[in-house]
Structures are given as structure tokens and as C-alpha cells.
């Protein structure tokens, strides 16, 4: 796709069509292209160019007599050629940094706040998830009695991710000094991957680890696989106010995508293995195909290690040139924020 090269006039006509389509959502006729300021081609010449762009698979006609709209391949060409490598403007960087500064460290650690920021700045549905990437390293374990037969486990990793688990205290576990057990686990396993700790607790003889059977079973519950981690979605109502989702079928499709957290997290994790920022368009992804959606996702880091991802879900017809820099800027600012706090 990236190897395709258009002539100067083909590129000019194509970009006008994409811009008009993303603005209006309607098929673009040759006369509309000809009417654009600075356009010097006749309508006949523009029609010839549009026909060639159709042959290349960049444009399509919903009806034989209608104007043209960009295909998924056309939007991909537009994004890869003009937008994906663009950098956030200084003004956007200041705006995002100000929002982080106003929020403070406690709210920045809240994935719900991160998703809400993406939704607020793009007017699409914001998504934030973690963990992504390498097995997080255990820093400490805290065990807090909640009263009755309940206890809260807090697994803190080196990237400041906190995994929470509420478990029942059964049998002899009620008599265990939770503070001492947490300190012992931290001493024994701090610096190891959380997944490897989980495997050891489940695969080795408790006595070999220095725990009783009851303690080991209790810790297995604390360290049980979190599945898809934490996924936060914010601003879904932004989509329902968009005319692109006026049809009931499309509303149902976007609701299914936003509510299916395991599928959403899995798709983002697979896509982000090979690139720090990914754009999904229409039929390029099973998630975006049914609802005629578009998605933009980017990674954020701590100490050079992948921590999570933030992005948006919106209509296929969104202003990518505005949305992609915002998503990138949030990811970069979050990474800088995590790094500065680690250094401090």
C-alpha cells in the first residue's frame, strides 16, 4: 500500500475528496472538487482522475450515478501518507500537559481518567487499558483485612500498576497475620515477574516455597490470572450524538464493541505488538467492520517498558488528522509523567 505513488494531480484530487467526505459524509462529485479554491482541472479531467483512482481501489461509488467516497484502502493511504507520522503541535502539547498538571498524580494513575481525557479531547469514545507488553515485575504485596471474612490483596508492580483482588478468608487462613505474610511474599518474590510468581505458587510444593498449604492456596487466589487486565471506556455518549450512528444497527454494533472488553483488549494488544501507534479502519479489523468504525490506539511506557495503551473508538469517517495527534500526545505525556515520577 505504501509503495503506491500517485501523480501530483491524482494526489490533489484524492485529498480533496477525502477531506470533503470526512467533513460531510456524502459521496463527492467532480463538480465539488472543481469548485475548491486553487483547483485548476476541469470537471472532465477530474472525472478521468476519479475513474483511475477507482481502478486503484482508493475510491468507490455507492451507486453508478453517484459521486465517490474513499474505500478503506483509500483512507489507509491517506493516513499512512499524510497523518500517521505527524507530530502533535506545541499548542496541543501544552494543552495536554496542563490537563495532566491539573489532575495530579492520583487521577493520572486512574485509567478511567485517562480514557475520559481521550474522549474529552477528541469527542469520540476514549479507551485505556493495561497491562500491555512484558510480564510486569512484582514490587510489593499488601494484604488488608476488610472485616468479617474478607481481605483485599494489592499487587504493586515496578511500573506502579496496582492489581486489586478481594478474597474470602477460609479455615485456618483467618488466623494468619496478613501483614507478616505480605512482607514475606514481598521479600521472597520482589523483582520477579508476576506471571512467574503465579506459576510458582500453583506449580511448586508449598513447603518448598516456605508456606503452609492454606497460605499457598490463599496466595493463589490473590495472584490468580487477571485475564484481560483493566479496560476503561469513557465518553460513549459522544458517539451516540454523532450522525454517523443514527441507525439503530450501528448503535448496537458500537455498544457491542465498547462492552466486549476482552475482545477489545485482545485486538489492541495484538495490533500494538508491531507498532507503537495503530489505526483501524472499517473492514481492516473484525472489531471495526460491523459498525463501520475507526479506532486509534497508542502505547504508553515506564522506564522503557510497555505499560498500557490509550486511544479512541469512533466512526470510520472521523477527522484522523486531528484525532491521531491527540492520541499520540496523551500517550507520550503519560509516559513522560510516569518517567518523571519514577526519577523523583
CATH for 16: 1.10.10.10
CATH for 142: 3.30.390.60
Backbone angles phi, psi at 269, to 5 degrees: -65, -40
% of the chain with per-residue pLDDT over 70:
93
Examine the domain organization and report whether 115 and 15 are in the same domain.
no
Specify whether the CB–CB gap between 139 and 303 falls below 8 A.
no
Instruction: Tell me the pLDDT tens digit for each residue of 293-318.
Output: 899 999 999 877 888 999 999 988 89
Cis peptide before 131 (omega within 30 of 0): yes
pLDDT score for 71: 94
Examine the domain organization and report whether 234 and 334 are in the same domain.
yes
Q: Residue 68 carries which DSSP code?
A: B
Examine the domain organization and report whether 169 and 268 are in the same domain.
no
Examine the domain organization and report whether 179 and 244 are in the same domain.
no
Integer Cα distance of 123 and 127 in angstroms:
12
Please check whether residue 307 lies inside any domain of the structure. Answer: yes
Instruction: Tell me the pLDDT tens digit for each residue of 225-280.
Output: 766 678 999 999 888 877 777 665 667 788 888 999 988 988 998 889 888 999 99
Number of folded domains that form the chain: 3
Residue with cell 468479617: 148
Query: Band of the pLDDT at 1, cuts 50, 70, 90?
Result: very low
Q: Is 168 helix (H, G, I), strand (E, B) or coil?
A: strand
Backbone angles phi, psi at 100, to 5 degrees: -65, -40
Please check whether residue 158 lies inside any domain of the structure. Answer: yes
pTM beyond 0.85, yes or no: no
The string of DSSP letters for 51-119 reads HHHHHTTSEE-SSTTS-BEE-HHHHHHHHHHHTTT----HHHHHHHHHHHHHHHHHHHT-HHHHHHHHH
Please check whether residue 337 lies inside any domain of the structure. Answer: yes
Please check whether residue 144 lies inside any domain of the structure. Answer: yes
Examine the domain organization and report whether 325 and 190 are in the same domain.
no
* Structural domain span for residue 209: 138-222
Specify whether the CB–CB gap between 231 and 264 falls below 8 A.
yes
Examine the domain organization and report whether 236 and 337 are in the same domain.
yes
Examine the domain organization and report whether 322 and 258 are in the same domain.
yes
Instruction: Tell me the pLDDT tens digit for each residue of 283-297.
Output: 888 888 876 889 999
Please check whether residue 3 lies inside any domain of the structure. Answer: no
Please check whether residue 259 lies inside any domain of the structure. Answer: yes
Examine the domain organization and report whether 192 and 339 are in the same domain.
no
The residue from 164, 197, 222 where one domain ends is 222
Examine the domain organization and report whether 115 and 154 are in the same domain.
no
pLDDT score for 64: 75
pLDDT score for 248: 58
Examine the domain organization and report whether 233 and 210 are in the same domain.
no
Please check whether residue 108 lies inside any domain of the structure. Answer: yes
Integer Cα distance of 41 and 13 in angstroms:
9
CATH for 275: 3.30.450.40
Instruction: Tell me the pLDDT tens digit for each residue of 125-159.
Output: 999 998 786 667 899 999 999 888 889 999 988 76
Residue with cell 485482545: 266
Examine the domain organization and report whether 235 and 325 are in the same domain.
yes
Residue with cell 499488601: 142
The residue from 166, 191, 222 where one domain ends is 222
Residue with cell 486509534: 296
Please check whether residue 1 lies inside any domain of the structure. Answer: no
pLDDT score for 3: 64
Instruction: Tell me the pLDDT tens digit for each residue of 50-59.
Output: 999 999 999 9
Strand residue runs (E) in the chain: 59-60, 69-70, 125-130, 138-147, 150-157, 162-168, 230-234, 277-281, 293-302, 305-315
Examine the domain organization and report whether 162 and 278 are in the same domain.
no
Amino acid at each position: 500500500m505504501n509503495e503506491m505513488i500517485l501523480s501530483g494531480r491524482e494526489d490533489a484530487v484524492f485529498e480533496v475528496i477525502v477531506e470533503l467526505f470526512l467533513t460531510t459524509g456524502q459521496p463527492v462529485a467532480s463538480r465539488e472538487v472543481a469548485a475548491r479554491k486553487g483547483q485548476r482541472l476541469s470537471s472532465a479531467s477530474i472525472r478521468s482522475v476519479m475513474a483511475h483512482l477507482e481502478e486503484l481501489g482508493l475510491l468507490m461509488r455507492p451507486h453508478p450515478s453517484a459521486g465517490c467516497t474513499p474505500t478503506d484502502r483509500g483512507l489507509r493511504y491517506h493516513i499512512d501518507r499524510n497523518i500517521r507520522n505527524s507530530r502533535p503541535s506545541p499548542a496541543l502539547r501544552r494543552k495536554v500537559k496542563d490537563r495532566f498538571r491539573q489532575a495530579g498524580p492520583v487521577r493520572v494513575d486512574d485509567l478511567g481518567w485517562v480514557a475520559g481525557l481521550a474522549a474529552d479531547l477528541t469527542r469520540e469514545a476514549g479507551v485505556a487499558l493495561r497491562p500491555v507488553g512484558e510480564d510486569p515485575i512484582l514490587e510489593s504485596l499488601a494484604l488488608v483485612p476488610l472485616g468479617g471474612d474478607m481481605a483485599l490483596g494489592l499487587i504493586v508492580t515496578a511500573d506502579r500498576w496496582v492489581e486489586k483482588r478481594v478474597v474470602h478468608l477460609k479455615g485456618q487462613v483467618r488466623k494468619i497475620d496478613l501483614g507478616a505474610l505480605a512482607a514475606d511474599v514481598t521479600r521472597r518474590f520482589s523483582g520477579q515477574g508476576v506471571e512467574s510468581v503465579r506459576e510458582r505458587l500453583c506449580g511448586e510444593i508449598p513447603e518448598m516455597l516456605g508456606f503452609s498449604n492454606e497460605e499457598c492456596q490463599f496466595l493463589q487466589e490473590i495472584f490468580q490470572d487477571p485475564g484481560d487486565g483493566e479496560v476503561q471506556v469513557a465518553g460513549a455518549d459522544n458517539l451516540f450524538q454523532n450522525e454517523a450512528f443514527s441507525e439503530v444497527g450501528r448503535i448496537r454494533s458500537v455498544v457491542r464493541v465498547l462492552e466486549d472488553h476482552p475482545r477489545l483488549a485482545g485486538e489492541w494488544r495484538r495490533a500494538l505488538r508491531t507498532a507503537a501507534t495503530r489505526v483501524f479502519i472499517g473492514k481492516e479489523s473484525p472489531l471495526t467492520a460491523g459498525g463501520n468504525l475507526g479506532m486509534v490506539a497508542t502505547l504508553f511506557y515506564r522506564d522503557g517498558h510497555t505499560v498500557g495503551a490509550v486511544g479512541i473508538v469512533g466512526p470510520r469517517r472521523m477527522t484522523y488528522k486531528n484525532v491521531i495527534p491527540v492520541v499520540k500526545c496523551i500517550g507520550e505525556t503519560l509516559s513522560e509523567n510516569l518517567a518523571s515520577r519514577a526519577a523523583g
